[in-house]
Amino acid sequence: MFKPPTLKDVARAAGVHFTTVSMALRGHPAIAAATRVRLESIAAKLGYRRVEVFSALTQRRQERGRQFARPGLLYLGRAPRRRQFFEMAHHRAVLAGARQQAEDFGYCLETVFVGPGGVPPDQLTAYLRKHSARGVVIGAWDPGMSAPAVDWSGKATVKIDSWHIPADVPVVSNDQLANVVTALTELRRRGYRRIGLAMGEHDDEGTGGAHLSGLQLAHARLAPRERVPPHFFPARTRMGPILEGLGRWLSAHRVDAVVSNWASIRSMLQAIGRSVPGDVGCACICRGRHQHELAGIIPNLELVGRTAITVLAMMVRDAGSPRAHAASNTCVQGVWRPGRTLRPAPSNA
């Protein structure tokens, strides 16, 4: 098996102690410039490459007994307002999973908000370059906002959703495609025949079109007359017009059940005078764990966070080695839960 050239190989070829080589390649002032140049050229000829990890480890050993920093990972959030990101139950759950997994691996996870009150988007590249963290998680950035031009190549990076962020890195998300298919299947089992999907205008940009794909897949099995076109809630609009639009769509297509990724769908329907499940059924494909009345899919958000960190840790471990990490896409399944917002399933099902 081919062994890559080591520091000692370079030292032997140059006729010096390996410490000299190490100091020279690091640019230590004690080594004369002429010596440094000579050793650098010998190292280059032999094909010796510095391994960052070894330097870091040596540094660690030298610092033993004194305080030192635990290697860190960054978790970046972006939304119109800080509290919309870090205080939303959805994001908190993902973050909790990420934090736990980071600790299991021995990393320290630091959360950073990109936007007003945090790091300005146009300074993000510089911020990342200066930060000592070894890896970055782009944590489900809000697709409705402008995507800043960031250079992600400096650190190992993983995305949670955020398909709209141009970074060809591994993505981890809920399996929104399968969730939509499951929801429609469950609703058809309960006899609904005019099932419509309603979601925010920009919601699918973060998922790479997963919701629409799921709808198309479900529709492929239906007769054309049973296919209800999806409805999109306009962005940056007051609730009044949103509700009006919802009402018009329900009437125009005689929708008898609504599937949505908005957990507020039930109260929205009730606000426009539809009783649930009497007039129309509803299910949420991204339901909170504690919303017991709402039928739908509970996503495993902690596992999404944990998986993102697992993938990131693998990339950090391999940093500096020639192997590249394919931009994989990991989809985490949720679990269907019935609720009181739908007719009951037939008992013989």
Partner 1 sequence: MLEPQRPTLRDLAAAAGGMHPSTVSLALRNSRRISAATCRRVQEVARQLGYHRDPLLDAFNRHRIDAQPPRAPRHIAVVADFGSAAALRASPRHALALAGARAAAAELFCKLELFLFGPGQPSAKRLDSILDARGIGALLLLALRPEGPAPAFAWERYCYVAVDSPQLPVPAYTVTVDYRQAGRLLWRLARAEGRRRIGFVWSDESADGAEQRAIAGYLFERSRESEGSPVPPLKLPPGPAAGTALRRWAKRYTVDAIVCRAAFRALAHTALGDTAPPCMAFDDPTAPTGMIRPDYFQVGRHAVEQLVALMQTNHLGPPPSSACTYLPIAPDS
Check binding of 322 to partner 1 (CB under 8 A). no
**CA–CA separation, 328 and 135 (whole Å):** 17
Residue with smaller CB distance to partner 1, 215 or 280: 215
- The rounded Cα 18 to chain-centroid distance in angstroms is 44
**CA–CA separation, 151 and 154 (whole Å):** 7
Binding mask 129-148 toward partner 1 (x if CB under 8 A, else -) reads: -----x--------------
Residue with smaller CB distance to partner 1, 80 or 166: 166
Q: Tally the residues of the chain.
A: 349
Q: Kindly state the smallest distance separating residue 225's Cβ from partner 1, in Å.
A: 14
The footprint of partner 1 on residues 91-110 (CB under 8 A) is: 103-108, 110
The footprint of partner 1 on residues 43-72 (CB under 8 A) is: 51, 53-54, 56-57, 60, 64-65, 67-72
Check binding of 220 to partner 1 (CB under 8 A). yes
Residue with smaller CB distance to partner 1, 291 or 330: 330
Half-sphere exposure of 118 (CA within 13 A, CB side): 19
The footprint of partner 1 on residues 71-90 (CB under 8 A) is: 71-72
- The rounded Cα 322 to chain-centroid distance in angstroms is 25
Q: Kindly state the smallest distance separating residue 33's Cβ from partner 1, in Å.
A: 30
Tell me if 288 sits within 8 A of 262, measured CB to CB.
Answer: no
Check binding of 302 to partner 1 (CB under 8 A). yes
Binding mask 157-176 toward partner 1 (x if CB under 8 A, else -) reads: ------------------x-
Contacts of 288 (CB under 8 A, 6+ apart): 89, 90, 263, 294, 298
Residue with smaller CB distance to partner 1, 320 or 344: 320
Q: Hey, how many other C-beta atoms are within 10 angstroms of the C-beta on 164?
A: 18
* Closest to 97 measured CA to CA, from 311, 319, 286: 311
Give the total of residues touching partner 1 (CB under 8 A).
59
- 179 - beta bridge partners? none
Tell me if 316 sits within 8 A of 101, measured CB to CB.
Answer: no
Residue with smaller CB distance to partner 1, 24 or 316: 316
Q: Kindly state the smallest distance separating residue 72's Cβ from partner 1, in Å.
A: 5
Backbone angles phi, psi at 82, to 5 degrees: -55, -45
Q: Hey, how many other C-beta atoms are within 10 angstroms of the C-beta on 170?
A: 21
The footprint of partner 1 on residues 175-204 (CB under 8 A) is: 175, 177-178, 181
Q: For 221-300, where are the alpha helices, taking DSSP H only?
A: 239-252, 265-271
Q: For binding to partner 1 (CB under 8 A), which residues are involved? A: 1, 3-4, 51, 53-54, 56-57, 60, 64-65, 67-72, 103-108, 110, 134, 175, 177-178, 181, 209, 212-214, 216-217, 220-221, 300, 302-303, 307, 310, 313-314, 316-319, 321, 326-335
